[in-house]
Structure 1
Amino acid sequence: MTDFARRTLDALAEVAVRLGHTPVVSLGDGIFGKDEGKNPAGSVKDRAAFYIVRDAVASGALAEGAPVVEATSGNTGIGLAYICGLVGIRVVLTMPESMSTERRKMLADYGAELVLTPAAEGMSGAVARARQIVEEEHGFFADQFGNPSSVTAHFETTAPEIFAALPGVKAVVAGVGSGGTAMGIKKYILENGIDCEVYAVEPAESPLMSKGFAAPHLIQGIGANFVPALVDISAFDGIVTVKGEDAVKEVGALFRDHGLASGISSAAAVLAARALRPRVKGDILAVLPDNSERYGEGLYR
């Protein structure tokens, strides 16, 4: 192991204690939310970002002086910028120009270098540009959509936390961005023989997994215009679609009724959980990926 790897892994070990152990809150009618916005950089992606960086350093895939490069709709980039900023690793991020200015500002505040790609190209355009930068700068491609470290993060941390907090939960609902959260939880359920279903959430306007087509939508962070390599659609017990306008309205309702400053994708997960209420006989947990601060103004109206 190189001196760089040893130093960086020691520093990352100190970061690890800050991650996870997020609260589970009751939303009524046997529905609960795991508030991932309470992670240090504000989202569920902090977990995956940590595992991706740690595993890359440990394996030698990330060498001293090389940048971490990623295509991101915001949260993964924020998590990577946070983790890498703490241990002195350069980060270059690509993202569609349609992403909110709040997300861009947060990335810049953490020291990330941001490259915007045409909105019409969606996340696939951001991925293509990230791969170009990796070649140009000899960087490490974090590859959130295909890196198994993302699944491992949720298998080893998020899932055990869920079942420790709610041992009898019968369904977990998670939006699919990279797919790491849902796939990691499903893997944990299968390997431990737990009686619990996993439902994926996607935008009704862009139902790629359930109906085979993608289109623009309002729910940032989920519903990429391609099926990520990490995702096995057949692993899900069902796919629930949520309209973007409904999710935006639900953000305000969650704040007024429960005091939760949740983001749009969190609201979508809650709406999906409610839609499942008639068919699931037992507690339902919705993974709430982030908070509202990175979505722009006016969400609580």
Structure 2
Amino acid sequence: MNSTMDTGATGAAGEDPRGSAAPTLDIDRSDPAHRAWLNEAVRKVQADANRSADTHLLRFPLPGEWGVDLYLKDESTHPTGSLKHRLARSLFLYGLCNGWIRPDAPVVEASSGSTAISEAYFAGLVGVPFIAVMPRTTSREKTRLIELHGGQCHFVDDPRTMYEQAAALAERTGGHYMDQFTYAERATDWRGNNNIAESIYSQLRCERHPVPTWIVATAGTGGTSATIARYVRYMRHDTRVCVADPENSCFFDGWRTHDPHAVSDRGSRIEGIGRPRMEPSFVPGAIDRMMKVPDAASVAAVRVLDEVVGCKAGGSTGTGLWGALKIVAEMAGAGHKGSVVTLMCDPGVRYLDKYYSDAWLAEQGLDIGPYLRTVHTFLATGHWTG
């Protein structure tokens, strides 16, 4: 069968520009059955967004006379229970529309758990297999939820090898390596379209400080902090963006020293955030401030959140909350008024055997007592001693 290939060269179709006849090719990927499957898959993913109401913005109680309001964007109310539901939806739409996700071919992801739960959900929604490549230390509850949504778990002993093992597994199975750490920042529409930043500003519209002074995020892929920071600049808000980073993560050091090759020699104890390498989706230039938060402080913060608000949250929420409380203390101490927003990333029920277990804290050598006293003293007196 004769066919044509447009190489961008001048000359008649099928004619080699050097003057001799050349073979021609025509690859048609518009198979009606595949296009019908793709259209239905995209519809299902878009329908999930239409079914999901916006997540709540919770107030953390502070003395009114401070003139500073603190809010937590509760992303645990998504259908798969975490901030990563937004990311997984964006990654699936990106992969489907790029032609990377195909019927019967597995989607493979490197994840510490929450992204894998959400991606397993969307894989089940569009009818493709899903395999999560995860650290062996991932909480048992996360593993259970991945399997509940029809996914499989492939464990690795060294979290630093997740990337290579996920890519190799995708190649062996003929599947697609989703690679959230590369594509998180580009799969999300940071200009708006109901992303998390647009939602925060919309929900603050009727508050006494509708434009937050600070938004405090944490970083796993870095996609959320990039989305928020880009949106702030695009909309010309005066908000500043801070990223709170846990122990055993390289993001703080890489940001501080402008080193894109910074690494950490061990994995983070705070699941979902902190990375051993500078991820492609982490955008240091968009971030105004970074904090290094001790893991014991992160755990203390979620314990206080449970005491004060009645919500159990994961350790990554504690990392961001600690950073937000420190910023509130700075603002109140300087007599500045305004609002601060941080994120409730996922529910604490996934970590009852970790961050809410005194036995686990002892095993890890973490003493949360001094950090609990810092927060309790601050809330009672307005003085930050940490």
Q: Distance in 2 between matches of 1:48 and 1:36?
A: 12
- Establish whether residue 143 from structure 1 lines up as the match of residue 185 from structure 2: no
Please tell me whether residue 287 in structure 1 is matched to residue 354 in structure 2. no
Amino acid at match of 1:180: G
Match of 2:203 among 165, 175, 179: 165
Say whether 1:230 aligns with 2:273: no
User: Is the aligned partner of 1:202 residue 2:245?
Assistant: yes
Structure 1 residues 255-292: Cα deviation after superposition (integer angstroms, max 9, x where no partner): 12101121111111111101112445421100111111
Distance 1:221 1:265, change over 3 A: same
**Candidates 186, 198, 202, aligned match of 2:229:** 186
| Residues 1:12 and 1:217: Cα distance change in structure 2 (over 3 Å) | closer
**Alignment match of 2:307 (pick from 238, 249, 256):** 256
Contact 1:47 1:154 in 2 (8 A): no
Q: Is the 8 A contact 2:94 2:187 kept in 1?
A: no
User: What is the CA RMSD across the aligned residues, in angstroms?
Assistant: 1.9
CA drift at 1:195? 1.0
Q: Deviations over 1:101-147 (max 9, x none)?
A: 111111111110110011xx22x311111000111112111111011
Aligned mates of 2:111, 2:137 — CA distance in 1: 12
* Structure 2 Cα separation of the partners of residues 137 and 153 of structure 1: 33
Map of 1:19-34 to 2, 5 A cutoff? 19=52, 21-29=54-62, 30-34=69-73
> Is the CA contact (8 Å cut-off) linking 2:182 and 2:281 kept in structure 1?
yes
Structure 2 Cα separation of the partners of residues 207 and 73 of structure 1: 14
Structure 1 gaps, min length 5 = none
* Equivalent in the alignment of 1:113: 152
Unaligned runs of 5+ in 2: 1-29, 63-68, 205-209, 254-261, 358-386
Farther-moved stretch of structure 1 (153-162 vs 134-143): 153-162
8 Å contact from structure 1 (residues 27, 33) kept in 2: yes
The number of residues matched between the two structures is 297
User: Residues 190, 64 of structure 1: CA spacing in aligned structure 2 closer, same or farther, 3 A cutoff?
Assistant: same
Structure with more contact order per residue of length (Cα contacts < 8 Å, sep ≥ 6): 1
TM-score in terms of structure 2 length: 0.73
Alpha-carbon distance between aligned partners in 2 of 1:216 and 1:13, rounded to the nearest angstrom: 34
Residue 294 (structure 1) shift: 1.4
Moved more, 12-21 or 189-198: 12-21
Contact 1:253 1:300 in 2 (8 A): no
C-alpha distance in 2, partners of 1:199/1:20?
27
Moved more, 77-86 or 273-282: 273-282
Give aligned-pair identity as a percent: 25
Which residue does 1:82 correspond to in 2?
121
Q: Which deviates more, 56-65 or 157-166?
A: 56-65
Give distance in 1, aligned partners of 2:283 and 2:200: 21
**Cα distance in 1 between the residues matched to 2:249 and 2:349:** 26
User: Over residues 57-77 of structure 1, what are the superposed CA-to-partner deviations in whole Å (9 max), with x where a residue is unaligned?
Assistant: 122121222111100000100
State the alpha-carbon separation in 2 of the partners of residues 266 and 155 from structure 1. 24
Distance 1:53 1:153 in 2: 16
Note if 1:97 corresponds to 2:165: no
Q: Which of 319, 327, 341 is the matching residue for 1:268?
A: 319
- The structure with the larger Rg is 2
Q: Does 1:130 align with 2:130?
A: no
Change (3 A) 1:44 1:153: farther
1:1-20 Cα offsets, whole Å, 9 max, x none, are: 61110111122222122346
Q: Does 1:175 align with 2:212?
A: no
* AA in 2 matched with 1:49: A
Which amino acid is 1:178 matched to?
A: T
Q: Distance in 2 between matches of 1:45 and 1:110?
A: 15
Distance 1:300 1:17 in 2: 34
Q: Distance in 1 between matches of 2:54 and 2:166?
A: 32
- Shift of residue 152 of structure 1? 2.7
Deviation, structure 1 residue 149: 4.3
